[in-house]
Chain A
Amino acid sequence: MNVAKIWVYLSASPLLWLTATLGAYAIAERISVRLDRHPLANPVLIAVAILIGLLKASSTAFPVYFEGAKFVHFMLGPATVALAVPLAENFAEVRRNLIPMVVALLAGSATAVASAVFMAWILGADATMIASIAPKSVTTPIAMGISERIGGLPAVTAILVIATGIIGAVIVTPIMNLFGIRDWAARGFAAGVSAHGIGTARAFLVNPLAGTFAGIGMGLNGVVTALIIGLLVALFG
């Protein structure tokens, strides 16, 4: 039996691309650790680049890839539920900061949507792209739902959300230092509200308390953005 036949057999099963996804991530993690968790060495960015290289080199279509990768994608749901654990563990700290969190959430949520729409519009994006960008700071499953309701393309939104998360994870440490914001709760919360799960993953790497507040910021921002945009559509849609 030749290699081509083995390839044809393996590429028809989800096993190959599931393995490749975990492998690419393992390599990305190693690179990130080796570079002392430098913000630019973002594991999602590196893993995505490796996998796109593999898909191009093997002329594999995305749906074939996703047949295997969907098992990983599926875990986003249980991972969201799992955010309840650090939330409950840091309940006292969360309760102490409840009012600052709620006010910061409303300010951040409104800023995220308004500034994204304004910038996209002024720089000449079309209406479909503007609708796809609007929910970019919200975690993937929520953002895709919002995008669909307001006339965007959910699949494009998913990519913009991931890109936002990577940008957020890359800039959060330098930008917080630049503005002299040293409080872990504030830093983490801002990472979660602006850059959802990828910002949260970065926050957990830097400081556990920052990670907890990031998780709360991400969860709350998902709910608030869904409500704000739902309300706007009900009023003007």
Chain B
Amino acid sequence: MIEALLILLMFQLSGEAITYAAALPVPGPVLGLVFLAVALRVVKGLSEKVSGAAHGILSNLSLLFVPAGVGVIQHADLLAAQWIPIAGALVVSTALTMVVTAATFIFVRRLLVKAASGKNGAGT
């Protein structure tokens, strides 16, 4: 448990240090994610060490957004004054993004499958 947490923190720390030093536009934890993903593929036995704790944290991911969510009370007036554009933008944009992303994903994969089967078909 402690070892797993140490591993996660070390990868986050290295991500933070490198993004700061190289002035990358990528946040530190995201770079840490990339490093850990590579390390998990390369280093044997690392997966067993972090797996339990990682799944434990991820199954309670919602909890981590609660403190920032409570921050709504600090800006209630500002948000209330412009609630129509805010609500409209959030709902429409989130729904649209969701549909565009899923539809593109499925469309491109079908295109690839068709291209691959087309090639095979030409060969036979």
Contacts and interface: CB of A to CB of B under 8 A. Distances in A.
Interface of A: 21-22, 24-25, 42-45, 47-48, 51-52, 55-56, 62, 65-66, 69-70, 72-73, 75-89, 91, 97, 99-101, 103-105, 107-108, 111-112, 115-117, 119-121, 123-126, 129, 133, 136-137, 140-142, 145, 153, 155-156, 158-165, 167-168, 171-172, 175-176, 179, 181, 183, 185-187, 189-191, 193-195, 197-198, 200-201, 204, 211, 215, 217, 219, 222-223, 226-227, 230
Given A44-B66, A84-B33, A88-B37, A79 B93 contact: no
Interface string B48-72: 0011011101111111111111111
A176 to B, nearest CB: 7
Given A100-B105, A162-B65, 9 more contacts: A75-B57, A80-B27, A81-B8, A82-B57, A136-B94, A137-B94, A160-B86, A160-B90, A204-B61
B26 to A, nearest CB: 5
Contact of A226 (B11, B25, B33, B66): B25
B40 A230 contact: no
Contacts of A97: 105, 109
A107 B67 contact: no
Given A52-B73, A123-B88, A107 B100 contact: yes
Contacts of B59: 204
Contacts of A69: 66-67, 70
A51 B66 contact: yes
B101 A194 contact: yes
Contact of B89 (A62, A120, A227): A120
A112 B97 contact: yes
B85 interface: yes
B86 to A, nearest CB: 7
> Which one of B55, B70, B84, B106 has the highest number of Cβ atoms from chain A below 10 Å of its Cβ?
B70
Contacts of A124: 82, 84-85
A171 B98 contact: yes
